[in-house]
Amino acid sequence: MAAGRGSFLLSFLEGLSRNRTEPNCGRTAPAAPQSRAAPGPTGSESGPTGGKRQTNPPNGEVCRWKEYETDSTSPSVDNFMERLPPEIVLKILSYLDASSLFCVSHVSKTFHQLAAADEIWREIYVSDFGSQSWRPKPAADASPGVDSAAARPGHWKKTYFRTIGQEVNKWRSKMRDVNPNSGLPRSTERVLRSLKVSWQLTLTCCSGREITVEPSRAHFFQSSAIVFFSGDGRLPRLGQVRSLRLYGVREGRSLRGGRPGWRSLILQLDARTRCCFFGRDQLVTLRRLQPAVTVATWRGEDTVAFVMVTLHLHKLVERSLLGSPVCPYSEPLGPPPVGKLDPEVGLQGYSLHLVLHNTGSEIMKGYFRQLCCCPGGIQHGLLEIRVISRNNVSQHRSLSGVIELPWRSEAMEGSVENCCVMTLTLLDDSQKPLWCVSSSVAVVGATGPPPLDYAGEHFLMRHCDHGGQVTMRLVRLTEQRQFLVVDLVVRVAVAAPTSIDVFDQRIGSCYS
């Protein structure tokens, strides 16, 4: 037994140390160094460790492996993966999903060739779009008995992405019907459900351990979606979380062997950055890490109870499908156009679709047309649009429900008062989305003189991010027991902040 294990280890070390630049079918081998011993009569030669290595693999193997060999002189001593035989690396890569395999192909030239193996992509294609009994038709120029995939290297990878492109064109044609009020496609939710798109949240702890959580439930609204991740008691303490990543995941049609679906990175944030207190009830405390991410921890301890993510439906299908595991989907960015400024009237033609809601119902929904920016309304890179004026009583809006945020995690449930979700879509003069926001917001007490003609407490509801600011002033009518919106101002960024300090000042002014 000991001798058998020793022979196995010696043969394994010889396989790791062998040079993969041997001659193959249809290619001239590089010149051998002068110090290398001449090959013996048995077809073997001395390796770098003094042992013997086989130069001629079994019949047919050289031709099948030739596309994976590179022109490098020798593998790196420090890189263990480069020292592995190609067939071993191919076996490892066969366990990856399509998105991870696509990322691996950008590591090096060797991995680019290995990750394009037809054997791997054929299994992925059949898993997502075909069946076990399906067989490809032979190519017209292929000889009888030769598979078309073997005749055309890279055929299955190209076929896979070509099929993906055809499906993208199909669901994009379904989303051409746009709601004139919100400027968003009407069928976003239907397309997401038909494509079996879901979301995954990955928490990375300071120790390096990763925890992937599936959504416990999701709520769709006209222009936003709220996704909850509870984890069923598997979530760590908030102080141990280093980063959070949200992925859009499309399940395969036939996931043979447990192969995961395509993953598209939607957002990534550092959990160790400054987070603001958001609200609390008797069971949980809410903290906001980012406008779209709210983390709840159990009262009296730091353990994460659930994570709530708010997603605006603008380009949500593209962000959930067309990104990669390491890079989110993005379009060319730049300062939004501000149009032509009339020195007497200012900017005109803007529209705003605003919804205040919680996880179950809408609190307020309004659509405001023909908004304008008065001359001199662009200051510090922000274009100011006054949607509701406190001096115009006819513009004031009442809220139809109580401002609260219901939640449920495992067997516990509750409701945090004075918290809700704000979903805002600002359209330009061509009715195209200019600024889209879906964020959790809180109602806080306001300072300064109270609004005229109203008796009662007045509050503020604010949001601030890189795209702009929203400031809403509310009055709580004691007798009617409801809130009334008496002032609403939207400031959208028309130029990027000059430095991170400018953005920090904006954030500080929102929550001071």
Residue spans of the chain under pLDDT 70:
1-79, 81-82, 130-152, 252-261, 332-347, 374-377, 449-453, 495-512
Residue 196's pLDDT is: 87
Residue 53's pLDDT is: 43
Residue 92's pLDDT is: 85
Q: Which two tokens stand for residue 119?
A: 């054997």
Indicate the residue type of 192.
Answer: L
Q: Measured on CA atoms in the order 442, 445, 450, 454, is the torsion positive or negative?
A: positive
Indicate the residue type of 417.
Answer: E
Alpha-carbon distance of 451 to 212, in angstroms, equals: 48
Are 152 and 121 in contact by the 8 Å Cβ rule? The answer is no
Are 199 and 320 in contact by the 8 Å Cβ rule? The answer is yes
Q: How far is CA 361 from CA 90, 171, 229, 281, in A?
A: 51, 29, 20, 20
Would you kindly state where each structural domain of the chain is located, as residue ranges? 55-135+149-174, 188-321, 347-511
Per-residue model confidence as pLDDT tens digits over 340-390: 444 444 467 889 999 999 988 899 999 998 888 765 667 777 888 899 988
Alpha-carbon distance of 86 to 328, in angstroms, equals: 31
Residue 121's pLDDT is: 87
Fold entry, domain 55-135+149-174: Monooxygenase (1.20.1280)
Are 256 and 127 in contact by the 8 Å Cβ rule? The answer is yes
H helix count then E strand count, the chain: 12, 24
Strand pairing of 241-250 and 44-46? unpaired
